Amino acid sequence: MNMFCFQCQETAKNTGCTTKGVCGKEPRTSDMQDLLVFSLKGLSFYSHEARKNNIEKDDINSFIFRALFTTITNANFDDDAIIRYIKDAVQHKLAIKHELEQKGIKFNRDEIPFAARWHGYTIDEFERTAKLVGPLETQNEDIRSLRELITYGVKGMAAYGEHAENLGHKKSEIYAFMQRALSATTDDSLSVEDLVALTLETGKYGVEVMALLDKANTEAYGNPEITEVNIGVGKNPGILISGHDLKDMEELLKQTEGTGVDVYTHSEMLPANYYPVFKKYDHFVGNYGNAWWKQKEEFETFNGPILFTTNCIVPPSKKSTYKDRVFTTGSSGYPGFKHIPHRKDGQPKDFSEIIEFAKKCDAPTEIESGSIVGGFAHNQVFQLADKVVDAVKSGAIKQFFVMAGCDGRMKSREYYTEFARQLPEDTVILTAGCAKYRYNKLPLGDIGGIPRVLDAGQCNDSYSLAVIAMKLKEVFELNDINELPISYNIAWYEQKAVIVLLALLYLGVKDIHLGPTLPAFLSSNVANVLVENFGIAPIGDVKEDIKLFMEEA
C-alpha cells in the first residue's frame, strides 16, 4: 500500500485510494497531509489545554483553519506548502507547550497523546512518521470511522471558518470546539458513544460556522438577489475565478476595474454573481463553464488566466496548454502553479501579475450562450414568501426537493440530472453547491413565476436552505421540520459536504438520501447508527426513488 485516503466520494472502489488518489493526489502528498492533520491534532491538544487555563492564541486559531483547509480534497497538491505547514505546526506546538510550562502546567507523559508529543524537524523524520499516523492506525473500525467523520466535519468547518475570518468574522466558540474535537480524536479513552455524541456536536458547530459565514458574506456584499447570470462571453480578455472565497473575488474585481480585463466565475464562484456589491462592476461579465471537474476542457477554451481561491483543482494533463495560466491563492496550491500570497497588514492581495498576464491573452472562446437564474438565498426567498406559501396552499407546489451538495466526475451522478428531469412538474428543487450543474441548465420552467430550480448559492449556503425550511415550519405552524413538504436528496463529494450533512442532522432533518455512494469511511455499525436514528438512505433507481419520495410526501 503506497498511501491510504478515503475521505471523499470518489475514493477508489469506494474503499480507499491506496496507490494514487483518484483526485490525482500523489502518495507523498497524501502522507504529508496525514502528518499535517496529525500535527494539528497534537497542536489542538495543547491549545485546548491552554484554553482551559485562559490562554487563547489568535495566531494558532487562524493557523489551524488554514492548515486544515489545505488537506481538503482537491485543495492543495503542493508538498512544499504542506511541509511548511507541518513545520509551523511543530513550532506552534513547542511555543504553546513552553508557555503552559512557564505557568507551571505540566502533563504526565502518559497523558499526552503521540500527536502532541511528536516533534519532527527533518524531511526524513516527516516521511517516517507519516507512515505511522494515517487513518488505518486506529485499529477499531468503528472508532476509526467516527474519528474520521469528526475530522472531516472539522475540515469542512475550517474551510467555511476561514472564509468568514477573511472577512473579519470570528467566533471563539468555533475555534474552541474545533480544537477540542481534533484533540478528542487522539484520545483512546473515548468510547463509540462518546464519539457519536461528539459527531452530533460537530453538526451543531457546523450550523454556527455556516451562520457566521452567511453573516460575513451578506454584511460585506449584501443579500443575494434574483439574478440572470450571463453564460456567454464578451470581447475582452478575461480572468476566470474559481473556488469559494468572496474576499478574493472583491479584491480581484476592484483591481481589474478599468484595466480592460473582464472577470468571469467558474464552478462554485458562480453565486458571486448574485451579490449586489459585485453586480455593480460592469466588467464582471458572468459565469464561464460548469462544475469543477469540467475544468480540463473549459480552461483550455477560456484562453486567459485562472485564479483558484480554494478547491476543486484537477491536475492538468501533460498536454494541457493552460497550466502556465493558472494561479492559486489562500489554502489552494499545485506544484508549478504560481501562488499569490495571503494579505498582510490589512493590505489587499496583489493580483497585478494575473491582470498583466490577462492583458496579453485572447478573449474567451464562447462555449455557451444565454443565461441562468439564481440568487434564492434566505432573504430573497423571504421576500417571495407569500407567493411560495400560496403556491403550496393551493397545491400548485406539491413538494420541494433539497438537492444541495457537490458535483463530481462519476458517471453515476447522471442520476441527478435524470432525477431533476423526471420530477413531477409541481415540484421545486432547492439547491446550493456545485451539485446544481447537473440540472441548472435544463429547461425545467417555473410554477406561477417561481423557477423550478432555486439556487441559494455555494455549498455553505445550504445553511440558507435550512433557514428557509425553519421559516416555512413557522409559517405553516408545524412542530417538526420533517412535517414540511420537503425531501432531501443530497449529493456529496468532499469534506465540506460532510459538515453540511452533520449540520442538517443536528437541525433534526430526517430521511436524507445521500449519494451517489455512501461514504467509505462509515463502518457498517456507524452507518447503521445514521440509518436507525436519522433515516439516512442511499440513492437507487431514479423512477423508484421519485415514487418513494412522492409517497412519503
Given the rule CB under 6 A, which residues bind ligand SF4? Answer: 5-8, 10-11, 17, 21-23, 25, 30, 73
Q: Which residues contact 116 (CB under 8 A, 6 or more apart)?
A: 41, 42, 43, 45, 46, 93, 186
**Count of residues touching ligand FSO (by CB under 6 A):** 14
Q: Kindly report the backbone phi and psi dihedral angles of residue 490, in degrees, each rounded to the nearest multiple of 5, phi listed first.
A: -105, 135
CA distance 191 to 12: 29
Contact (CB, 8 A) for 303 and 365: yes
Question: Largest Cα–Cα distance in the chain?
Answer: 69
Of 82 and 404, the one with the shorter C-beta distance to ligand FSO is: 404
Residue from 428, 456, 497, 530 in contact with ligand FSO (CB under 6 A): 497
Q: Which does 167 bind (CB under 5 to 8 A by kind): ligand SF4, ligand FSO, none?
A: none
Segment near ligand FSO (CB under 6 A); pick from 19-27, 32-40, 106-114, 491-499: 491-499
Q: How far apart are CA 536 and CA 488, in angstroms?
A: 10
Q: What are the grid coordinates assigned to 227, written together?
A: 439574478
Could you tell which of ligand SF4, ligand FSO, none binds residue 268, using a CB distance below 5 to 8 A set by kind? Answer: ligand FSO
DSSP structural state of residue 17 = B
Sign of CA dihedral 201, 206, 212, 215: negative
CA dist 313 to 81, 89, 153, 327, Å?
15, 25, 20, 11
Closest distance to ligand FSO from the beta carbon of 304 (Å): 20
Judged by CB under 6 A, the stretch of 144-152, 166-174, 193-201, 488-496 that binds ligand FSO is: 488-496
Nearer to ligand SF4, 7 or 230 (CB): 7
Q: Is 176 helix (H, G, I), strand (E, B) or coil?
A: helix
Closest separation in Å from C-beta 309 to ligand FSO: 11
- What does the per-residue mask of binding to ligand FSO show for 355-384, with x meaning CB under 6 A? ------------------------------
User: What DSSP string runs through 395-450?
Assistant: TS--EEEE--B---S-GGGHHHHHHHHHS-TTEEEEE-SGGGGGTTTS---EETTE
Closest separation in Å from C-beta 21 to ligand SF4: 3
Query: How many CB atoms are closer than 10 A to CB 428?
Result: 25
Give which of ligand SF4, ligand FSO, none residue 545 binds (C-beta under 5 to 8 Å, depending on kind): none
Is the bond preceding 516 in cis, omega lying within 30 degrees of 0?
A: yes
Write the CB contacts of 533 (distance below 8 Å, at least 6 apart in sequence). Answer: none
Q: Identify what 493 binds: ligand FSO, ligand SF4, none; CB under 5 to 8 Å per kind.
A: ligand FSO
**List 154, 216, 249, 434, residue binding ligand FSO (CB under 6 A):** 434
458 binds, among ligand SF4, ligand FSO, none (CB under 5 to 8 A by kind): ligand FSO
Q: How far is the CB of 71 from ligand SF4 (least distance, A)?
A: 9
Smallest distance, ligand SF4 to C-beta of residue 151, A: 13
| Residues 177, 205 contacting (CB under 8 angstroms) | yes
Q: Could you tell which of ligand FSO, ligand SF4, none binds residue 5, using a CB distance below 5 to 8 A set by kind? A: ligand SF4
- In the complex, minimum distance from the CB of residue 110 to ligand FSO, in angstroms, rounded to a whole number: 39
- Which residue in the set 205, 292, 322, 415 belongs to the binding site for ligand FSO (CB under 6 A)? 292
| String of contacts with ligand FSO for each residue 259-278, x by CB under 6 A | --------xx----------
Closer residue to ligand FSO, CB minimum distance, 42 or 408: 408
Q: Are 286 and 265 in contact (CB under 8 A)?
A: yes
**Angle, CA of 547, 412 and 199, to the nearest 5°:** 80
> Count of alpha carbons within 13 Å of 392, Cβ hemisphere only?
16
Beta-carbon count within 10 A of 413 CB: 21
CA 391 to mean position of chain CA atoms: 33
Residue 377 or 459: the one with the smaller Cβ distance to ligand FSO is 459
Q: What is the contact mask toward ligand FSO in residues 443 to 472, using x (rule: CB under 6 A)?
A: ---------------xx-------------
In the complex, the smallest distance separating the C-beta of residue 313 from ligand FSO, rounded to whole angstroms, is 9
User: In whole angstroms, how close is the CB of 312 to ligand SF4 at the nearest point?
Assistant: 10
Q: Binding to ligand FSO by residue 44, rule CB under 6 A?
A: no
Residue 21 contact, options ligand FSO, ligand SF4, none, Cβ 5-8 Å cut-off depending on partner type: ligand SF4
The closest alpha carbon to 207, from 454, 458, 507, belongs to 507
Closer of 305 and 408 to ligand SF4 (Cβ):
408
Helix (H) or strand (E) holding 515: strand 513-515
Could you tell me which stretch among 132-140, 200-208, 489-497, 543-551 binds ligand FSO (CB under 6 A)?
A: 489-497
Task: From 9-17, 189-197, 492-500, 507-515, give the range in contact with ligand FSO by CB under 6 A.
Answer: 492-500
Helices 524-534 and 141-166, axial angle in degrees (round to 10): 70
Min separation Cβ 382 and ligand FSO, Å: 24
The one among 224, 315, 316, 433 contacting ligand FSO by CB under 6 A: 433
Of the residues 494, 501, 509, 536, which one makes contact with ligand FSO according to CB under 6 A: 494
Q: Kindly state the DSSP code that residue 5 receives in the 8-state scheme.
A: B
Residue 496 binds which entry of ligand SF4, ligand FSO, none, with Cβ cut-offs from 5 to 8 Å by kind? ligand FSO
Residue 164 interaction partner, one of ligand FSO, ligand SF4, none, beta carbon < 5-8 Å per kind: none
Q: What is the DSSP letter of 346?
A: T
Closer to ligand FSO at the Cβ: 328 or 458? Answer: 458
Task: Give 130-133 contacts, CB < 8 A, sequence gap 24+.
Answer: 130/31, 130/32, 130/34, 130/35, 131/31, 133/34, 133/35, 133/38
Interface positions with ligand FSO (CB under 6 A):
267-268, 292, 311-312, 406, 433-434, 458-459, 493-494, 496-497
